[in-house]
């Protein structure tokens, strides 16, 4: 496929931090969260830095919306077994970082963690998952609710609105059939393409501003280096996987060969059965 548009993960590092491009991010966030999101600012936390020579696939963006909520957007290309806990760490750090010393707990900011991932995380058939916190009685099976006073204090109706929300978008599990406007965004994440009939909020603006052809020469070179780094990372991951699988196969062949050898089977038959060399078999 000929990709006409910039990958979203690179755009979020280089272009979408610009206030002039907030409309693109606001469109995506509004489609996902199903409410009109207005961005106040991009917050520069410790984990929200950009580097020209960045060779890692991790992309963090910390946003404050008009409701003073914190929104973490993270894109991850490489497989990480402990990614669920990294989400937890990122949320915890954001909460602590933006609570001033001496403030009451009622000033703790709501955090929305949005994770766009390009590997298989956990087991599940869907490509979008949402996690939130609710409390249920072990005996009465009722759901715990806020009191009228708490609703007034927090300006929230439900307990889960106080706690972090976590979204997981498993891009590679999307089947490329855009059935609604949020799917149109996910199609863009996966294919770096915006079709002419797409109507999702923010995509019309993205279609104009995120075209590869519109990049200045300096940005184009930076983007090409980023793509090269992604290819390099993917190549390393594929090599490591192949070597690990080959090591397992070699161990299995050696185990079979040893069993055959212990049972007095002729060397030539063992060679034909396992593919091992005579020297390898004699060492067993």
- pTM confidence score: 0.78
Give the bridge partners for 130, in sequence order: 167
pLDDT of residue 113: 95
How confident is the model over 160-184, as pLDDT tens digits? 999 999 999 999 999 999 999 999 9
R_g of the chain, CA atoms, integer Å: 25
pLDDT of residue 215: 87
- Residue 27's Cβ-side half-sphere holds a number of Cα atoms within 13 Å equal to 21
pLDDT of residue 53: 46
pLDDT of residue 147: 97
pLDDT of residue 46: 52
pLDDT of residue 38: 92
H-only helix segments in the chain: 8-14, 22-33, 83-97, 148-154, 181-191, 203-209, 217-262, 267-274, 278-282
DSSP-derived letter for residue 136 is B
pLDDT of residue 177: 94
Give the bridge partners for 42, in sequence order: 63
Give the bridge partners for 116, in sequence order: 75, 169
Low-confidence ranges of the chain (pLDDT < 50): 1, 52-53, 55-57
pLDDT of residue 207: 93
């Amino acid at each position: 496929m000929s990709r006409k548009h910039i990958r979203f993960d690179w755009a979020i590092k280089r272009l979408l931090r610009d206030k002039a491009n907030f409309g693109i991010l606001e469109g995506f966030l509004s489609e996902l969260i199903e409410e009109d999101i207005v961005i106040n600012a991009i917050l520069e936390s410790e984990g929200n830095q950009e580097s020209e020579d960045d060779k890692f696939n991790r992309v963090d963006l910390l946003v404050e919306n008009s409701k003073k909520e914190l929104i973490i957007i993270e894109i991850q290309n490489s497989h990480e077994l402990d990614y669920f806990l990294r989400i937890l760490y990122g949320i915890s750090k954001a909460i602590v970082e933006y609570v001033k010393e001496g403030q009451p707990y009622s000033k703790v900011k709501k955090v929305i963690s949005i994770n766009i991932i390009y590997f298989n995380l956990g087991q599940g058939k869907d490509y979008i998952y949402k996690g939130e916190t609710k409390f249920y009685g072990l005996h009465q099976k009722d759901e715990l609710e806020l009191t009228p006073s708490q609703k007034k204090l927090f300006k929230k109706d439900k307990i889960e609105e106080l706690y972090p929300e976590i979204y997981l978008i498993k891009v590679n599990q999307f089947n490329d059939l855009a059935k609604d406007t949020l799917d149109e965004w996910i199609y863009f994440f996966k294919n770096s393409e915006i079709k002419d009939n797409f109507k999702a909020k923010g995509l019309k603006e993205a279609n104009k501003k995120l075209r590869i052809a519109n990049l200045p020469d300096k940005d184009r070179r930076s983007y090409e280096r980023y793509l090269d780094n992604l290819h390099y990372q993917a190549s390393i991951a594929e090599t490591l996987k192949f070597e690990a699988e080959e090591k397992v196969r070699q161990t299995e062949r050696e185990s079979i060969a040893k069993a055959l050898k212990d049972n007095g089977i002729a060397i030539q038959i063992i060679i034909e059965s396992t593919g091992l060399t005579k020297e390898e078999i004699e060492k067993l």
